[in-house]
């Protein structure tokens, strides 16, 4: 990052990078969870859920990309070893249900992941609103996406 770009960051760099890393890890884990679940599930409504899982799985990977770019820009390192993703994550990872036809659990697990992300991103938006505007914008973009994701999944839950 350039001189002026660094100067305008009023927050502590270590702390910003730590917060970005947690988000980065969660996005990778959500990507993996949704990607795998899309392939694993079976049953009546599985195809409907599958296409949403695939789409959102790509979105989460795109989120991880935005976070990685910002981490590098601030002089940090994204998680270099995937073994560490679970330790760095804030929301964590939920395995797809053992029963591939248990679509209610799939929906609930995604909703939990999205709720956790919304919670975290809204806190981060507040935190960096005036101390790191660029990071704030990234968290805000991600927050908007996760709010849309949650809404899409709540519709499935409303179905009988």
- Where along the sequence are the contacts to Fe ion (CB under 5 A)? 27, 60, 63, 146, 149
Tokens of 139: 């968290």
Q: How far is the CB of 57 from Fe ion (least distance, A)?
A: 9
Task: For residue 157, count other CB atoms closer than 10 A to its CB.
Answer: 11
What is d(CA 74, CA 103) in angstroms, rounded to the nearest whole number? 41
CB of 149 to Fe ion, least distance (A): 4
What are the Cα distances from residue 130, in Å, to 124, 125, 126, 136? 11, 9, 8, 8
CB of 114 to Fe ion, least distance (A): 5
State which residue, 12 or 123, has the beta carbon closest to Fe ion.
Answer: 123
Closer to Fe ion at the Cβ: 132 or 146?
Answer: 146
C-alpha 29 chain-centroid distance = 8
Nearer to Fe ion, 16 or 31 (CB): 31
Closer by beta carbon to Fe ion, 88 or else 101: 88
Closest distance to Fe ion from the beta carbon of 127 (Å): 18
Task: Give the Cβ contact number of residue 97 at 10 Å.
Answer: 17
């Amino acid at each position: 990052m350039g001189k002026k770009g660094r100067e305008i960051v009023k927050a502590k760099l270590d702390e910003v990078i730590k917060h970005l890393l947690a988000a980065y890890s969660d996005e990778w884990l959500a990507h993996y969870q949704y990607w795998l679940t899309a392939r694993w599930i079976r049953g009546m409504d599985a195809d409907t859920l599958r296409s949403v899982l695939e789409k959102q799985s790509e979105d989460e990977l795109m989120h991880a990309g935005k976070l990685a770019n910002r981490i590098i820009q601030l002089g940090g390192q994204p998680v270099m070893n995937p073994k560490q993703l679970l330790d760095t994550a804030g929301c964590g990872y939920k395995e797809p249900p053992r029963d591939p036809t248990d679509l209610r659990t799939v929906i609930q697990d995604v909703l939990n992941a999205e709720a956790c992300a919304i919670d975290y991103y809204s806190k981060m938006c507040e935190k960096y609103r005036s101390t790191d505007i660029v990071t704030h914008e990234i968290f805000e973009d991600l927050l908007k996406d996760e709010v849309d994701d949650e809404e899409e999944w709540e519709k499935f839950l409303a179905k009988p």
